């Protein structure tokens, strides 16, 4: 069955808007990181949980969009649709990272200018596939799966979840899926309490890959389960209240401090296992109140994925600048941080309109 025969379902505009809210908070999280001495004192302390929120949203939307289409859709057509949706921005994000690579030299990355161009281009080509690079190709020195655009790690795990869903888990009964989600929840809680948080997953070694998989499996397939069993009701002002809840969760200061790391692990677990599904349920139940609210949700949803992929190449410049100005304070930094945030949003919107949407339309015609 050709993909063009699949009727597009209506979107959940509030969920689109919430994805954009979380994406903006991710940018602020990355802007606050270089001013912190570690996880304990980051001003946007739980911004890393936005990734787990994205995974849960993805699982929910996947179940909603594709759950009843498999009698008309092959594995090949499903993967083509996912590649068309995800890969163009991956390519642009990696390209932007490559363009800026040699210009982000700082005390943090003293060896950048010694990296031969062929090696950088090899990392770029691998990055285009979203496959992680081995540590032998860690050209920046931060042990990133994708040294040209750090956020690529979560797309790698997103693809793993998509593959697991398509080749088998989509066929699970609700009971079997619930068992999988329950086991994944236990693994998540154990990891969070043991480590003090769920942050991690961006390095290609056994421990970090385990963290990445644990962070992915529960929220993605909990979202899938939620899409099957949830019976949305009509809720007014859902976008406002859900946005506030997302912001409160992600901006919450560290819980427990260095003496009681397990307390923060419990906080992370409650957020991912309880609060995020509740937010998605409320968002799916929400009713758009006005055309203005609809436009806001559409704009935020449209820029969310491009913003996630294009902001980090700009953040590298910002991090390099801070590292070259030791002792700089947040009072001195905030205008530059605001400039990076605003520039990232503008760049994301430009990328959406002038690159992502045209490329996806062209690929859709060619591949489907």
CA–CA dist 64, 39 (Å, integer): 35
> Angle, to 10 degrees, between the axis of helix 75-101 and the axis of helix 152-167?
170
- DSSP label at residue 6: S
Q: Look up tokens 């409160």; give the residue.
A: 248
Q: Label residues 80-95 b or e (16+ Cβ within 10 Å = b).
A: bbbbbebbbbbbbbbb
In contact, 78 and 159? CB cutoff 8 Å: no
pLDDT tens, residue order, the chain (368 aa)? 334 344 556 689 999 999 999 999 999 999 999 999 888 999 999 999 999 999 999 999 999 999 999 999 999 999 999 999 999 999 999 999 999 999 998 888 888 999 999 999 999 999 999 999 999 999 999 999 999 999 999 999 999 999 999 999 999 999 999 999 999 999 999 999 999 999 999 999 999 999 999 999 999 999 999 999 998 888 999 999 999 999 999 999 999 999 999 999 999 999 999 999 999 999 999 999 899 999 999 999 999 999 999 999 999 999 999 998 888 888 899 999 999 999 999 999 999 999 999 999 999 888 86
In contact, 298 and 10? CB cutoff 8 Å: no
Query: In DSSP terms, which residues pair with 359 in a beta bridge?
Result: none
Residue 199's Cα: distance from chain center in Å? 13
Rg of the Cα atoms in the chain: 20
Angle of CA points 267, 19, 238, to nearest 5°: 80
In contact, 329 and 118? CB cutoff 8 Å: no
* Listed residue (364, 299, 368) closest to 24, CA to CA: 299
Three-state SS for 244-271 is HHHHHHHHCCCCCCCCCHHHHHHHHHHH
> Quick one: tokens of 151?
């956020």
């Amino acid at each position: 069955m050709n993909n063009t025969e699949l009727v597009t379902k209506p979107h959940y505009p509030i969920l689109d808007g919430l994805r954009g809210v979380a994406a903006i908070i991710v940018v602020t999280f990355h802007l606050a990181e270089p001013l912190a001495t570690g996880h304990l004192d980051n001003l946007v302390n739980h911004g890393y949980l936005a990734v787990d929120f994205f995974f849960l949203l993805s699982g929910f939307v996947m179940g909603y969009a594709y759950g009843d289409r498999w009698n008309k859709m092959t594995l090949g057509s499903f993967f083509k649709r996912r590649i068309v949706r995800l890969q163009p921005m991956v390519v642009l994000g990696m390209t932007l990272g490559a363009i800026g690579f040699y210009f982000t030299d700082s005390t943090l990355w003293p060896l950048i200018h010694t990296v031969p161009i062929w090696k950088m281009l090899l990392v770029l080509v691998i990055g285009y596939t979203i496959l992680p690079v081995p540590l032998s190709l860690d050209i920046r020195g931060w042990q990133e799966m994708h040294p040209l655009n750090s956020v690529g790690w979560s797309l790698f795990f997103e693809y793993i979840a998509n593959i697991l869903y398509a080749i088998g888990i989509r066929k699970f009964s609700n009971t079997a899926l619930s068992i999988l989600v329950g086991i994944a929840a236990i693994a998540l809680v154990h990891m969070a309490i043991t480590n003090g948080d769920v942050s991690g997953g961006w390095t290609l070694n056994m421990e970090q890959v385990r963290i990445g998989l644990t962070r992915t499996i529960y929220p993605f397939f909990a979202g899938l389960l939620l899409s099957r069993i949830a019976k949305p009701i009509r809720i007014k002002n859902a976008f406002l209240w859900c946005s506030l809840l997302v912001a409160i969760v992600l901006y919450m200061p560290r819980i427990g401090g260095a003496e009681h790391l397990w307390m923060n692990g419990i906080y992370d677990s409650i957020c991912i296992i309880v609060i995020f599904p509740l937010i998605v349920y409320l968002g799916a139940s929400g009713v758009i109140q006005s055309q203005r609210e609809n436009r806001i949700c559409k704009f935020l949803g449209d820029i969310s994925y491009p913003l996630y992929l294009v902001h980090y190449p700009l953040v590298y410049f910002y991090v390099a600048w801070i590292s070259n100005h030791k002792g700089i304070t947040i009072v001195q930094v905030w205008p530059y941080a605001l400039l990076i945030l605003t520039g990232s949003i503008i760049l994301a919107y430009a990328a959406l309109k002038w690159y992502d949407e045209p490329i996806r339309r062209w690929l859709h015609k060619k591949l489907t």
